[in-house]
């Protein structure tokens, strides 16, 4: 693993303007807003904080842990197995599709952004059907190849989840940019805490516990009007 200016390179991966389609997905938030479950910034803060500790960290972040545990020894099959385990816990087909679309787009971008990185194992797995190329997997392989420490990679991913959620909310509820940035600032230390909660767990221990959010994701496709794809 070589360090190609990993911290600065990671900033590009975390940029909300990165064209991987994250702005097109609310991952169930749109449903919860339309149904009146989330209408205020206080409720949004509570929702994002709970998603952080009950879904994004114990779920998606476990894929990152699998990459950092097994890539060095070339045990990629263990990585693909964890990705599948986490991905199948996404009940909504829209959400699964969204995570795959974002991941595949990021994999395409990576070839242009970082042609020096060896992503052959991931590309081969996608071509053979062993991997779905979900966003957390592609992101983590890039971070690993860049030489970013695992803690940095996990916290960066959790931060991107927070920002995506808040940016979606800005288009859905009555809330200004300043208020949105204040919520993100409040959640940053919670992201670090979420990493501590899962730091000692094995990737196979992945779990999620957000039934309200999952129901929102499932019902999204039946909404009368939609801004987002999921």
> Model confidence over 148-201: pLDDT tens digits?
999 999 999 999 999 999 999 999 999 999 999 999 999 999 999 999 999 999
Q: Return the pLDDT at 230.
A: 66
% of the chain at pLDDT higher than 90 = 73
Residue at token pair 């959010």: 213
| C-alpha distance across the termini of the chain, in Å | 36
So what's the pLDDT on residue 1?
44
pLDDT at 167: 92
- The CATH homologous superfamily to which domain 6-14+25-32+39-217 belongs is Urease accessory protein UreF (1.10.4190.10)
Nearest-angstrom CA–CA distance, 203 and 136: 13
Average pLDDT, the chain: 91
According to the model, what pLDDT value does residue 18 have?
75
Q: Which residues of 58-86 are buried (b: 16+ CB within 10 A; e: fewer)?
A: bbbbbbbbbbbbbbeeeebebbbbbbbbb
Dist CA 39 CA 161 (whole Å): 20
CA 5 to chain CA centroid, Å, is: 22
Banded pLDDT at 226 (limits 50, 70, 90): confident
Q: Could you tell me which residue, 95 or 8, shows the higher pLDDT?
A: 95
pLDDT of residue 5: 57
What does the pLDDT average to over 50-78?
A: 97
Pair of tokens at residue 167:
């940016």
Split at pLDDT 50, 70, 90, the class of 51 is: very high
pLDDT in tens, 81-122: 999 999 999 999 888 999 999 999 999 998 888 899 999 999
């Amino acid at each position: 693993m070589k360090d190609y200016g990993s911290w600065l390179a990671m900033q590009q991966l975390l940029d909300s303007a990165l064209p991987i389609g994250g702005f097109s997905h609310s991952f169930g938030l749109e449903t919860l807003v339309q149904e009146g479950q989330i209408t205020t910034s206080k409720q949004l803060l509570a929702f994002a904080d709970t998603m952080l500790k009950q879904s994004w960290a114990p779920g998606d972040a476990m894929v990152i842990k699998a990459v950092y545990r097994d890539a060095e020894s070339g045990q990629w099959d263990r990585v693909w197995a964890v990705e599948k385990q986490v991905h199948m816990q996404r009940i909504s087909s829209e959400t699964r599709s969204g995570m795959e679309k974002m991941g595949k787009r990021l994999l395409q971008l990576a070839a242009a952004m970082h042609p020096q990185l060896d992503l052959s194992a991931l590309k081969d797995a996608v071509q053979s059907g062993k991997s779905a190329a979900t966003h957390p997997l592609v992101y983590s392989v890039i971070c690993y190849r860049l030489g970013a420490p695992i803690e940095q990679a996990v916290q960066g991913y959790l931060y991107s989840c927070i920002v995506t959620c808040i940016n979606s909310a800005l288009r859905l509820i009555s809330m200004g940019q300043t208020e949105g940035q204040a919520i993100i600032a409040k959640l940053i230390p919670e992201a670090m805490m979420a990493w501590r909660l899962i730091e000692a767990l094995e990737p196979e221990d992945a779990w999620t516990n957000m039934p309200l959010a999952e129901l929102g994701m499932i019902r999204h496709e039946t909404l009368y009007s939609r801004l987002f794809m999921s």
